[in-house]
Amino acid sequence: MNELVVFDPVKAELAEYKKQNLELVFDYEDPQGNKDARSHIYKLRQAKTKIADVHKVAKAEALGVCRLLDGEKNKLTDEVEEMINVHYKPVKEIEERVAKAAAVKANEERLEAIRVEAERAAERERREQELAAKETALEEKEAALVREQEKLEAAKQAEVDKAAAVKDAQEAAERDRLAAIAKAEQDKKDAAEQAEQEKQAAVETEKERQRKEADAIQVELDKQREIDAERIADEKHRASVESEIRVCLFRITDDDAMAGVILTALVNDEIAFVTIKY
């Protein structure tokens, strides 16, 4: 029985709409074309509504049938269960008895397994403790050997360190001795160089003193020369002036001796209100 035939009228209508949908062409920008397109869409939406209505009615009828089917199924199932229970009850009692015995046996086996496992665990723990004790003893023995070896190595190292310390001390003493010798030689050299420098400085100082003294003498000599030159020049100038004055006096007196006497008086400022301007 096929209840889906209720959709056959709608399917026929949809087939026509599909054909039209492929063939129709609308100008959506044109007002009339847009209106025609909307009209076609409206018909398609009406078809959707019709499909929903058919489905609603058919589903309501189907639900009524389903409820009848469920009731009949439950009734028949209960009758079969009653028939099964007539014979299944003794079978079930046997199954429960067997299951109970199996449970008791399983519990006994579980307890035995627990006991065996406990014994095994105790044995394992005993062996582990024995092994741990042996390992501890071995570790202590190895540790003692290591400590003894460390003591021996420490003693050897102490001897090596002592010898190295003695060697270092000897080398340090030798370095100090050589350094002291080198320092003494350097101090001696430095002292000699210092003495030489001081001697040279004294020589230079004496040379500088002598140079300054010579310069001072030269300055005095130059001054004296200038004085002598000025004196000589003055004497020459005076002699020249006095000679000209004597010539003038000779012309006036026509007596050279008289001219000489007057000149001497003028030179000595013995004539009042008369002075020679050199």
Specify if 64 maps to a domain. yes
Domain count, the chain: 1
Q: Where are the beta strands (DSSP E) in the chain?
A: none
Q: Domain span at residue 80?
A: 3-98
pLDDT-derived band at 89, boundaries 50, 70, 90: low
Of the chain, the percentage scoring pLDDT greater than 90 comes to 5
Residue 82 has what pLDDT?
66
Task: Judge whether 21 lies within some domain.
Answer: yes
| Torsion sign (Cα): 178, 179, 184, 190 | positive
**Does residue 275 register a pLDDT over 60?**
yes
CA torsion sign for 171, 176, 180, 186 is positive
Give me the pLDDT at residue 84, please: 59
Residue 159 lies in a domain: no
In a domain, 23, yes or no: yes
pLDDT band at residue 1, thresholds of 50, 70 and 90? very low
Q: 130 or 65: which carries more pLDDT confidence?
A: 130
| Closest alpha carbon to 133 in 121, 144, 125 | 125
The residue behind tokens 């100008």 is 27
Cα gap 190→144, rounded to integer Å:
65
Q: What is the pTM of this model?
A: 0.28
d(CA 57, CA 247): 185
The string of pLDDT tens digits covering residues 164-201 is: 889 999 999 999 999 999 999 999 998 889 988 988 98
> What pLDDT score was predicted for residue 65?
76
Q: What's the confidence (pLDDT) of residue 50?
A: 83
**Residue-wise pLDDT tens digits, 227-266:** 888 888 888 888 888 889 889 988 998 888 898 898 898 8
